[in-house]
Each structure stands twice: as structure tokens, then as C-alpha cells.
Amino acid sequence: MATQKKASSGAAIKTKASVESIRVVPLFNPKMDIKMGELSTKTGDSELLALPPQTATPKLVYNGGALIKNVKVYTIFWGKNWSSNAAFISLKTNINSFFTAILTSPLLDQLAEYSVTGSAIGPGSLTGSKTITTGAPKTHIADSLIRTTLTGWITAGTVPPWDANILYFIYMDKGVKVTMGGSSSCTSFCGYHDAMSGKKYYAVMPFPSCAGCLGGLSVQDALTGTSSHELCEAITDPVPPTGWYDNANGEIGDICAWKFKTIAGYNVQLEWSNKAKSCI
């Protein structure tokens, strides 16, 4: 799905084909096989921004930007439920276990095909986790405030300092709507990743409380599916669209949205392979 991509200056960044960068997980649509280029052509999808039709065979092209070589995931659970509700605490534990398992799994191995000189993509690790209740939004929050808050956490030492491999995953509380670029969670997207100042990488995971972001899955399976989508995109295209990107179809996960497999007992999304010319 296309959304407005903002640089630190606030200017919109567009691809060579003059379409906006793709960096979100779109809503599940059970009426069709999800193809990013077709979403906005269907009746009832007027809130989704238009993209050119998907090509017969997508192909990711490297645009010379940064890649995350050995990703260091740091999870942030923001909201009171993550610290006080037993079901949420259990879910939090399972999400962290998911990352521990998946970051050294075949999912990361298959991304090696997108290595470039000086940036070999390899296994990652879960480097830590933090539950934060201070300043947690109750009903809604804009991406701009998430960015400001994350910067404050980094500056204060609440979370680890940025380095070239760290990726902050921010999990929102139930009932909190996230807005970004004129779109909102559970209306236009289910998750996204971005970069601050072109180098501080983060992903936002709204709680999946709507049919469009659950897609018939359990809450945990929906979250791990969305998380794997954004994880692989952030590794291969941390500053959209300067890494591996397809002007017509988006990032590595966009091409294969809502297609899943099981790895280490967890639901993960298929990702596009240029070599296999398919979602694997």
C-alpha cells in the first residue's frame, strides 16, 4: 500500500516512478489475492493510494542505500496493559520469544541474496525489551509524536542508543489508533517501518483489534505475521525507498502481503525472492 513517506525535513520522497514509498502492512482483503498494485483499483478501497498495476514478475532493485547487516531488535511495549494484564504479559513474552527464534532462522538466511558489497546480510538477535507506561496514549497517537517520544527515550537512556544495526519495534496498547501521513491503523494499515534522520530505524505495531488486521488469525499470529513483514522490509530497505525496492510493487514484504508459513512454530509472512521469482 502506498503512503506518504516523510524525510526528516518533512518533504515527500518519491520513487523514480513518482509513486510514494511503500512501508506499511495493508489491511487483509479476503475477496482477492492481495497484490499491492491492485488494492486501490477495487471498489471500496478509495482510502488506499493508487499504485501502478503489479508487474507480471516483480523485481526488487537496489538503489544504493543502507541495509541492516545484523539486525539487533529491541522491543518496546508501550501501554499499561503490557505491564498489568496477564494475557498481555504472556503475549509480550511470546513476541520476544518469536524474535529470539526467528532472528537466527531460515527467514533471515533467505535475505542473504540481497547482500551487497560491504553490507552482507546475516543473522540477527533480540538485544533487549522494555515495557513503558509513562506517557502512553489512551486512544490515538500520530507517528510524529511516536518519533519525538522515541528520540526522547534514546536521549534519556531509557532504551539503547542508536547504532547501524538496531531496530526499535514499538508495540502499541489495545485501543490505540496510530495515524501517519493522513492514514490510520485498522483503516488503511496494520503496521509500518520508517527511519528518523535517515538512520534511526523503527517499526510501529498497532494492536490488531479489527478484522482487517487480524485476517482470521489469532492476535499473536497476526502480530508475528506483521512483525516479520516489517522486519524483513526494514533489513532490506531501512530508509524507504533507498534500499531494495520495486517501483511498481513496493518492498520485499509488500509483494507477498498476507501470505504466511510457519517457522520455529511461529506464523511468519512469505517474502519476495528475486532469485526464486516468487514468494518464499
Phi-psi label, residue 64: left if phi above 0, alpha if psi -120 to 50, beta otherwise: left
Predicted pLDDT of residue 141 = 99
Predicted pLDDT of residue 216 = 96
Nearest to 2 by CA among 42, 40, 45: 40
Predicted pLDDT of residue 80 = 98
Predicted pLDDT of residue 2 = 28
What percentage of the chain exceeds 90 in pLDDT?
A: 79
Nearest to 78 by CA among 123, 5, 130: 130
pLDDT band at 176 (very low <50, low <70, confident <90, very high): very high
Predicted pLDDT of residue 28 = 77
Cβ-Cβ contacts under 8 Å for 178 (sequence gap 6 or more): 140, 141, 142, 143, 146, 172, 184, 185, 204, 206
Task: Say how many CA atoms lie within 13 Å of 153 toward its Cβ.
Answer: 26
Task: Answer yes or no: are the C-beta atoms of 156 and 148 closer than 8 Å.
Answer: no
For residue range 214-254, list pLDDT tens digits in order.
999 999 999 999 999 999 999 999 999 999 999 999 999 99
In CATH, what class is 24-279?
alpha beta
Dihedral, CA atoms, 172, 173, 174, 175, nearest 10 degrees? -80
The mean pLDDT of the chain is: 86
Predicted pLDDT of residue 249 = 94
Q: Write down the pTM of the prediction.
A: 0.85
Q: Where are the domains of the chain?
A: 24-279
* Structure-model confidence comparison of residues 55 and 147, the more confident one: 147
Dist. CA 66–CA 114, nearest whole Å: 12
Among the residue ranges 4-13, 15-24, 123-132, the one predicted with the least confidence is 4-13
For residue range 42-63, list pLDDT tens digits in order.
333 222 233 345 556 999 999 9
pLDDT exceeds 60 at position 10: no
Phi, psi of 243 (to 5 degrees): -95, -130
pLDDT band at 22 (very low <50, low <70, confident <90, very high): very low
For residue range 65-90, list pLDDT tens digits in order.
999 999 999 999 999 999 999 999 99
Predicted pLDDT of residue 37 = 36
Distance of CA 272 to the CA centre of its chain: 15
Strands 191-196, 24-25: parallel, antiparallel or unpaired by DSSP? antiparallel
Predicted pLDDT of residue 21 = 57
For residue range 189-222, list pLDDT tens digits in order.
999 999 999 999 999 999 999 999 999 999 999 9
CA angle 55, 61, 63 (to 5 degrees): 140
Predicted pLDDT of residue 41 = 31
